[in-house]
Amino acid sequence: MNGVRRSLLHLPEDPEGRDAWFMAMALEEAAAAAEREEVPVGAVLVGEEGVLARCGNRCLELKDPTAHAEMLAITTACAARGEGRLPGTTLYCTLEPCFMCAGALLHARVARIVFAARDPKFGACASLARLPEDRRLNHRCLVEEGLHADLSAAMLREFFKDRR
C-alpha cells in the first residue's frame, strides 16, 4: 500500500476521490490486521472534522469476538467526539459489515457506509440482508459498495489461503 498515507492537505476535493482516499486508509488498516494475524478487515470513520478513527480487527489480540474493525472505530470515534452518537459521519470498511456491526452503526447514527467487498457468509448490508436500509427501523444509513473490492477480496483470499 505504498503511497496510501498522504497528508490531509492533499485530500481530493471530489467525492469519488475522497471515498477512494479513505478506503485506501481502510485497506492499510486491513493490511496491519493481517500482519497481526487477524482477519484483514480495516475501517475508517470520517466526520466533517476529518478522520475520527482508523482501526483494524483485533479479535484475537483482545480475545474479544466483538473487536471488529467497525466496532473499534465506533468506540474510538465516539471518544474523539465526546458523544455517544456519530451523525453526519461515513464509515469506510474493507468488508461488508456483519449484523453486529451494522446494528451498532445504526445505533451510532452513522449516516453512510461505504464498503469494499461483500461478505456472503455474514454480510448484513447487501449479501444476507440490507439492515442499514430497512424501513422498519427508526434510523437508516446510505450504503455504497464495491470501492476497491478487488483489493480487499484479494487480501482476504491470501490471508485464508495461508491458513487452509
C-alpha closest to that of 73 among 48, 97, 37, 99: 97
Alpha helices in the chain (DSSP H): 15-35, 59-62, 69-81, 99-107, 149-161
For residue 154, what is its C-alpha cell?
Answer: 484479494
**Active-site annotation, residues:** 70
Handedness of CA 103, 108, 109, 114 (dihedral sign): negative
